[in-house]
Every structure is written in structure tokens, then in C-alpha cells.
């Protein structure tokens, strides 16, 4: 029997690519998304790859949805061997100009959704000796201007998983995180930034916003930094199948170099100095 992998957030981007790549590698893949009416791109990719996916609804901020999906997967397929936490959303804005409701929403989707899905999966992963693979971001290592909410959530995910990893290992479950840099997927479009409105309402922050967005657009236009969803999915697959997976996987040389600012920055001056240049 092939191992069973559940992947969240598969309607586009990294999640879509990870579901397809895992199925091509021999996994029985349960590809989940909040709204299964948006499964068109996923099914088209699956048909092109000649693979079959089990597409189900899972909303990571709805506890009943999580429980129903995971219980159904185990009932129908007999086990759960890998959980790939990928569902999430981006957000751009600085704290003075965003509401606490927006901050909480980002934490719910990007952090508490991961926690809840992992919690519900662990009894089944313990039974199978399985794995938790979570897509975070270089923004979970290095804080970035105008990304306070997003980076806070990703920092929280990294701390949660880093703390869970040694505990989960005692029950035979391996935990890994995946840290992509810029990825050319629908994730960027789904951030939903109205640039003109943001500048018009930016007040004292407008010059810094303009400088920041110029920097970001340059990174997404740079072939040395930007990756595709398929590129990242290959790293996700490595964490799913390798005999001795590492805890932390950067997905490119650019991501490794970017994260190294933080890893070697004992007093914080290198990171703050680097990101300060983005808003000048």
C-alpha cells in the first residue's frame, strides 16, 4: 500500500505542485483546500501528469473541517503518513495602519491553522511513524519591512515546529520546515495589495513603502532569487522521502544566503542593517 500524504492549500502554487509531485512519486495524495470549487488548476495539472488525487475540503481555521477531513482520510485510506502544512496567505502593511482584526486573521490562518491541523494529525502520524512537513518562509527567519503580521506568524510557526521536533521524534514522528524565498505563484497575487491605495493612505510611511515595493519587485524579477512552485515542491518531496531529513530546508542558494544573515547575526545588526536599506 502506498503511503498517504495530506497536503493543505493545494488550489495553486506550492501546494498544487507539492500534491502533484508527491503523487508522481507514488504517494496516495489527499489534496485539500478551503473551497473545492477552486480545484480546476489542480485537476488540470493532475491530468497532465497522469496521476489521480483525492481532493477534499479542509479549512485550517475551522476545527470541525480539520477533524472531519483527517478522520475521513484515515477511514478511507487506512492511515496518514505525511502531513504537508502549506495553506496560508500573505499580507502587506505596517502595524499603525492595519487593524487588530487583520493581524489576528493572519495569525489564525498562518499559525493557528498549522497548529490545529498538526494537532489533529499527530495521533495518526504517531501510529504510522510519519512526518510533518511545514512550508514556512525565509520570512520566518528574517523579519521584513511591512510584513509584521506575516513574519510574526511565520516566526511563530518556526518556533512551534522547532520546539515540537525533538518531542515528536520520541514517538517516531519527524518534523521539518521548508523555507522558500521569492516564489512566482498565485500567492503573490493573493496578497491583494492595492498599491495606489496603499501609497495614497500611507502618510509618513509612503516613501518607505515605495522603496520597499521597488525592492520586492526587483527580487521577483531576478532569476537568481525567484523560484517556481515546482522548484519548492521538489524540496518538500525530499523532506517527505529522504531517510534522514533535516529539520530546516531552505529551497535555494538565495534562500540559504538570506537566512544566513540571521543565523550568524548574534547582535541583530546585520539583519536590521540589511532590511533598513530596503526602505530608503
List, by residue number, the catalytic residues: 150
> What is the distance between the alpha carbons of residues 136 and 251, in angstroms, rounded to a whole number?
11
> What is the distance between the alpha carbons of residues 256 and 101, in angstroms, rounded to a whole number?
33
Helices 253-263 & 269-276 angle (0-180, nearest 10): 130
> What is the distance between the alpha carbons of residues 66 and 107, in angstroms, rounded to a whole number?
17
Handedness of CA 130, 6, 79, 57 (dihedral sign): positive
Handedness of CA 101, 85, 118, 62 (dihedral sign): positive
> What is the distance between the alpha carbons of residues 221 and 182, in angstroms, rounded to a whole number?
10
Amino acid at each position: 500500500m502506498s503511503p498517504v500524504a495530506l497536503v493543505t492549500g493545494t488550489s495553486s502554487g506550492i501546494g498544487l505542485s507539492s500534491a502533484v509531485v508527491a503523487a508522481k512519486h507514488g504517494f496516495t495524495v489527499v489534496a485539500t483546500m478551503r473551497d473545492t470549487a477552486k480545484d480546476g488548476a489542480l485537476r488540470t495539472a493532475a491530468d497532465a501528469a497522469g496521476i489521480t488525487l483525492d481532493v477534499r475540503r479542509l479549512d485550517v481555521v475551522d476545527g470541525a473541517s480539520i477533524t472531519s477531513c483527517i478522520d475521513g482520510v484515515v477511514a478511507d485510506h487506512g492511515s496518514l503518513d505525511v502531513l504537508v502544512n502549506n495553506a496560508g496567505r500573505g499580507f502587506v502593511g505596517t502595524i499603525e495602519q492595519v487593524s487588530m482584526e487583520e493581524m489576528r486573521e493572519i495569525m489564525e490562518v498562518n499559525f493557528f491553522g498549522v497548529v490545529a491541523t498538526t494537532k489533529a494529525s499527530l495521533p495518526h502520524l504517531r501510529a504510522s511513524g510519519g512526518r510533518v512537513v511545514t512550508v514556512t518562509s525565509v520570512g520566518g527567519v528574517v523579519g521584513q519591512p511591512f510584513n509584521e503580521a506575516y513574519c510574526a506568524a511565520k516566526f511563530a510557526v518556526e518556533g512551534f515546529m522547532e520546539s515540537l521536533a525533538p518531542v515528536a521524534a520520541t514517538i517516531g514522528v519527524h518534523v521539518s520546515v521548508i523555507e522558500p524565498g521569492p516564489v512566482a505563484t498565485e500567492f503573490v497575487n493573493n496578497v491583494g495589495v492595492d498599491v495606489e491605495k496603499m501609497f495614497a493612505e500611507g502618510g509618513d510611511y509612503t516613501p518607505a513603502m515605495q522603496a520597499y515595493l521597488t525592492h520586492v519587485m526587483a527580487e521577483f524579477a531576478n532569476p537568481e532569487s525567484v523560484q517556481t512552485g515546482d522548484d519548492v515542491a521538489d524540496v518538500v518531496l525530499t523532506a517527505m522521502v529522504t531517510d534522514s531529513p533535516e529539520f530546516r530546508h531552505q529551497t535555494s542558494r538565495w534562500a540559504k544566503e538570506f537566512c544566513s544573515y540571521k543565523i550568524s547575526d548574534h547582535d541583530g545588526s546585520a539583519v536590521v542593517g540589511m532590511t533598513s536599506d530596503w526602505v530608503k
